[in-house]
Amino acid sequence: MTARPRLPIVVKGYPRLSETFIAQEILALERCGFEIEIWSLRHPTDRYLHPMHAAIRAPRHYLPEYLHHAPLRVMRGLLRALPNPRFGALLRVFWADFRRDVTLNRVRRLGQALVLAAELDPALRHIHVHFLHTPASVARYAALLTGRSFSFSAHAKDIWTIPDWERGEKIAAAAWGVTCTREGWNELRRVAGAAGERVHLLYHGLDLARFPAPPEARPPRDGRDPTAPVQLVTVGRAVGKKGFDDLLAALGRLPADCHWRLVHIGSGPLLPALKAEAARLGLAERIEWRGGRPQDQVIEALRAADLFVLPSKPAAGGDRDGLPNVLMEAATQALPLLSTRFAGVPEFVAHGENGLLMPPGDPEALAAALARLIADPALRAALGMAAARRVRAEFSFEAGIAQLSERLAASLDAARD
């Protein structure tokens, strides 16, 4: 009987409601025959879990989020590292990083890497890491100390909010990496220079088996009947890059005789400010803030809605979305999509075909698109059906997971040689 290939995966936090793409991938890799270990830099903070999390068998290991919380683990890691002939090379790389990033966060990543290197089974010779910023620092340092190889999956914030030197050096140190949008792929190849050929485009896609068939039909609500308002839904963490402040500003521009209701699903630091702004605009009675919810409740909300809205835009500090999975999730339920021409969104949403795209950060244009879609149930139905066809024809995740599985299997084989 052939042993299952064992793969440690480093993540920033696990489990997280907002990172369904990571849970989906881990579950799929387990079904492909991998025996996964999850090493997380942070403990979970979400109140709920997705059904996928319950299906994942991988054991979880939590590195010390703050080094002073686990001094004995950190000290054991350091004592194990001191006689290692690679320790000097690690310190040189760390010092070069620290000189350009003089932060406690950088020191914390070194400490976490020492713990990972000490506690990870020596038989595991290749590490895969999600996100190119802090998790990849830990994976890179641990790999350098132990002679392991590592690969990465880059997504959104990690592509756009760390300096060129850091991204380029991590890519050069990695065996290979993947990212989930063409925009991100082009950016990583730019900063990597000659090492850019190590980065590959790999859309997440969706495991469509997790989603029911879309509703057969939706009521032809057009916003004129106050007893039958058009149902809007948006899903995402309350952070700047999601553009929920623009959504509120746009909704505030709609005429009083345009009847709608909005459901927002997601937690996040900006929720109190968004609720206060909704109250200031006189919209509080029309908006339901549900907070973070597991995926079965997200799907239920999508099925009950008439229109999905996500006005992504650049946030302060350069943070931005990749291709938000929730757009594809909404498409599985034949929802028309209203979003922006930004980040990876146009790689899935084609303006006038399966949704409408507005300029990012433009509440006035967003309000005009909302008014148009609210008033036209036939247009919503046509766009929603086109979205459902596209996600099923072009964004199923089977092809992507097969490619990722092959790359990981090859790296595990090479690491054993």
Does the pLDDT at position 132 exceed 80?
yes
Residue 276's CB is within 10 A of a number of other CB atoms, namely: 11
- In angstroms, the CA 86 to CA 104 distance is 23
The CATH homologous superfamily for domain 6-204+397-416 is Glycogen Phosphorylase B; (3.40.50.2000)
Q: Residue 93: what pLDDT?
A: 98
Q: What is the pLDDT of residues 291-347, one digit of tens each?
A: 999 999 999 999 999 999 999 999 888 888 888 899 999 999 999 999 999 989 999
Give the confidence band of 2 by pLDDT, cuts at 50, 70, 90.
low
Does the pLDDT at position 103 exceed 90?
yes
- In angstroms, the CA 349 to CA 336 distance is 10
Q: Which residue has the higher pLDDT, 46 or 9?
A: 9
Give the confidence band of 117 by pLDDT, cuts at 50, 70, 90.
very high
Q: Residue 1: what pLDDT?
A: 37
- For range 103-125, the mean pLDDT: 97
For every residue of 105-166, DSSP letters joined together read HHHHHHHHHHHHHHHS-TT--EEEEE-TTHHHHHHHHHHHHHT-EEEEEE-SHHHHSS-HHH
Residue 43: its H or E element = none
The CATH homologous superfamily for domain 210-394 is Glycogen Phosphorylase B; (3.40.50.2000)
Residue 289's CB is within 10 A of a number of other CB atoms, namely: 16
The residues, ordered by sequence, that sit 6+ positions from 256 with a Cβ below 8 Å of its Cβ are none
Residue 77: its H or E element = helix 71-81
Contact (Cβ atoms closer than 8 angstroms) between residue 37 and residue 128? no
| 354 exposure class (CB count in 10 Å sphere: 0-12, 13-18, 19+) | buried
Q: What is the pLDDT of residues 350-390, one digit of tens each?
A: 999 999 999 999 999 999 999 999 999 999 999 999 999 99
Read off the pTM: 0.84
Contact (Cβ atoms closer than 8 angstroms) between residue 7 and residue 29? yes
Task: Say which amino acid occupies 323.
Answer: L
Q: What is the pLDDT of residues 163-208, one digit of tens each?
A: 999 999 999 999 999 998 899 999 999 999 999 999 999 988 888 8
Fold match, 6-204+397-416 / 210-394: yes
The residues, ordered by sequence, that sit 6+ positions from 396 with a Cβ below 8 Å of its Cβ are 205, 206, 207, 208
Q: For the chain, give every domain's residue range.
A: 6-204+397-416, 210-394
- In angstroms, the CA 341 to CA 379 distance is 20
- For range 209-224, the mean pLDDT: 94
How many Cα atoms sit within 13 Å of 173 on the Cβ side?
27
Q: Kindly report whether the peptide bond that precedes residue 15 is cis, defined as omega within 30 degrees of 0.
A: yes
